[in-house]
Amino acid sequence: MNLVNIFITALLTENVVLTKFLGICPFIGTSKSRKSAISMGLSVMLVVTLSSIITYFLYHYLLVPTNTEYLKTVLFVLVIASFVQLLEILLKRYFKSIHKMLGIYLPLITTNCAVLGIVLLNITNDFSFIEMLVYSVSSSLGFTFVIYLFSSMREKIENSDVPAPFRGYPIALITAAIMALLFSRYV
Amino acid sequence: MKTILNGIFKENPVLVLLLGLCSTLAVTTNFENAYLMGICVIIVLTFSNITVSLIKKIVPKNVEVPVYILIISTFVTILELLLEHYIKPLYDVLGIYLPLIVVNCIVLGRALSVASKSNIRTSFKDAIGIGLGYTFVLMIIALFREVIGNNTLTIMSSTSKLTGYKLVYKVFDANTLFPMNILITPAGAFLTLGFLIALFNFIKGGKKNESR
């Protein structure tokens, strides 16, 4: 039951984008078309899931025994940055079609706060391995879900008549506000 | 001076470049958290810009990003340890948004676009300008959100142990309109920022028309 609970909360009511504000930059930046939104979402899912497994083991079997937990930010950033690089090389070599689809979105992930945020939340929430896995998958799935919904809305907004000062980012943020209202549990 | 003003208005990181939105939206429920977060970013940005500018000649181009991220995360970790020791309440409130300064696009963006290309003086001034611009926006959003959404204004609360003062004001008398809780929720954050950018565009658009 606990796992189902974690899954639903991370996917909907405590969505990383709309309630924790993680990954807002790609959320606003790459959501102009549905295709780029899906590519970004898939890259994030891949990187989040795999890097949280790596960082989980590093934290519990390297940092905790040596009493250097304060180094977690530096270590996690390094892991994510090098892992993204490695993934890009591997995909380019062996899975050409995936690499073509994710393309430029993969390197951008290094500075995506959603990845570092979820990885750090795994640690601060004191999750066990299975819980951590469920949380990472559902959080990044939530990211993909929301960014896809948002991009389909923005495609419609592009064609509508918006007052000049609101064109572009402001109307996107206000749309996001209405979405956040739907997702929040305060209503 | 021109570089600093440039950072605050023309190249404002939040309103114009749309960078560092995560922390902007997350910590602005409270006025005090907002300006303290701004100060943290100014500190990290200044140190990282100076360091990057110092070592720019010996860093090969193809490992630029990892090296700079490492420098930034070192400064963030130092800041984290200092805050945890001296201002524990603030450290608890900022939570994961403090380590997330590492991936705050403002800091890395400035390191790549300015500090790695210019001398120490310019990068220092740029850091101060951009940092102040960021802090400024955070303070405006937080002021609006806290006063209307929570009917209070916190100027000094979590640092009160350090300074000896505690300043928390109640703004309006009890009435049916305030507080409007929606502004404290995440939706309120998106809404406030959206309207602020629209207002900024409106003012800028007006100026452009006048000069023509």
Q: Is residue B3 part of a domain?
A: no
Residue B48 lies in a domain: yes
pLDDT per position as a tens digit, B164-178:
777 777 777 766 677
- Contact at 8 Å (CB) between B157 and B92? no
Q: Compute the distance between CA of residue B205 and CA of residue B211 in angstroms, rounded to an integer.
A: 10
Dihedral sign computed on CA atoms, order A7, A13, A19, A24? positive
Residues of B with Cβ-Cβ distance to A111 under 8 angstroms: 103, 105, 108
Tell me, yes or no, whether B6 lies in a domain.
no
pLDDT of residue A72: 86
Tens digits of per-residue pLDDT, A105-117?
777 777 778 888 8
Residue B154 in domain: yes
Is A169 close to B25, i.e. CB distance below 8 A? no
Q: Which residues of A touch B22 (CB under 8 A)?
A: 21-25, 113, 117
pLDDT bracket for residue A138 (50, 70, 90): very high
B120: tokens are 């120490």
- Residue in B12, B103, B110, B138 to test binding to A, most A beta-carbons within 10 Å: B103
Of residues B135 and B117, the one with the higher pLDDT is B135
- Give domain status of residue B143, yes or no: yes
Q: Which among A77, A70, A61, A56 is positioned nearest to A127, based on CA atoms?
A: A56
Give, in order, the Cα–Cα distances in Å from A180 to each of A17, A25, A128, B117.
9, 16, 29, 40
Quick one: pLDDT band at residue B206, thresholds 50, 70, 90?
A: low
Number of folded domains in chain B? 1
Contact criterion met (CB below 8 Å) for A71 and A120: no
Candidate from A82, A121, A184 with C-beta closest to B186: A184
For residues B17-25, average pLDDT: 81
- Tokens encoding A142: 């939530």
Answer positive or negative: Cα dihedral of A98, A101, A103, A105. negative
Name the minimum distance, in Å, from the CA of B165 to any CA of chain A: 30
Residue range of the domain that includes A71:
22-173
Q: State whether residue A127 is helix, strand or coil.
A: coil
What residues of B are in contact with residue A28 (Cβ under 8 Å)?
Answer: 18, 21
B77 contacts chain A (CB < 8 A): yes
Residue B178 falls inside a structural domain: yes
- B187-202, pLDDT tens digit by residue? 888 888 999 988 888 8
Cα distance between residue A145 and residue A156, in whole Å: 18
Whether residue A1 is predicted with pLDDT greater than 60 in this model: the reply is no
Report d(CA B37, CA B91) in Å as an integer: 10
The answer to whether A21 contacts B189, with C-beta atoms less than 8 Å apart, is yes
Nearest chain A residue to B108 by CA: give it.
Answer: A111
Instruction: Please report the pLDDT score of residue B119 as a whole number.
Output: 86
For the record, the structure tokens of A103 come out as 């393309």
In a domain, A181, yes or no: no
Position B20 in a domain: yes
Answer whether A177 sits within 8 Å of B26, measured CB to CB.
no
The answer to whether A82 contacts B22, with C-beta atoms less than 8 Å apart, is no
How many domains, in total, are found in chain A? 1
Q: Is A80 a domain residue?
A: yes
Domain membership of residue A58 (yes or no) is yes
Q: Which residues face B167 on adjacent strands? A: B156
So what's the pLDDT on residue A94?
83
Residue whose pair of structure tokens reads 């993204």 in the numeric block: A84
> What are the distances in angstroms from CA B39 to CA A176, B131, B168?
28, 8, 20
Could you tell me if A113 and B108 are in contact, meaning their C-beta atoms sit under 8 angstroms apart?
A: no
Band (pLDDT 50/70/90 cuts) for residue B12 is confident
The yes/no answer to whether this complex scores an ipTM above 0.90 is no
Whether A6 is covered by a domain: the verdict is no
B37-89 pLDDT per residue, tens: 999 999 999 999 999 999 888 888 877 888 888 899 999 999 999 988 888 88
Distances (CA, A) of A16 to A57, A180, B35, B186: 23, 11, 24, 11
Return d(Cα A172, Cα A160) in angstroms, integer: 13
**Structure confidence by residue, pLDDT tens digits, A113-135:** 888 889 888 888 888 899 999 99
Residue B167: strand, helix, or coil: strand
Distances B115 to A122, B50, B60 between C-alpha atoms, Å: 34, 7, 15
What b/e sequence results for A141-174 when a residue is b if at least 16 CB atoms lie within 10 Å of its CB, and e otherwise?
bbbbbbbbebbebbeeeeeeeeeebbebbbbbbb
Whole-number Å distance between alpha carbons of A52 and A26: 20
Structural domain includes residue B171: yes
> For residue B201, which residues of chain A lie inside 8 Å, CB to CB?
164-167, 170
Quote the CA–CA distance of A168 and A49 in Å, as a whole number. Answer: 32
* Amino acid (1-letter code) at residue A132: M
Average pLDDT over residues B114-127: 86
| Identity at B4, one-letter amino acid code | I
Number of CB atoms found within 10 A of residue B117's CB: 12
d(CA A141, CA A144): 5
CB B39 within 8 A of CB B45: no
Say yes or no for a CB contact (<8 Å) between A165 and B181.
no
Q: Is the pLDDT score of B181 beyond 70?
A: yes
Picking from B185, B189, B199, the nearest residue to A186 by CB comes out as B185
Inter-chain touch B185–A180, beta carbons under 8 Å: yes
Q: How confident is the model at residue B211 (pLDDT cuts 50, 70, 90)?
A: very low
Mean pLDDT across chain A: 84
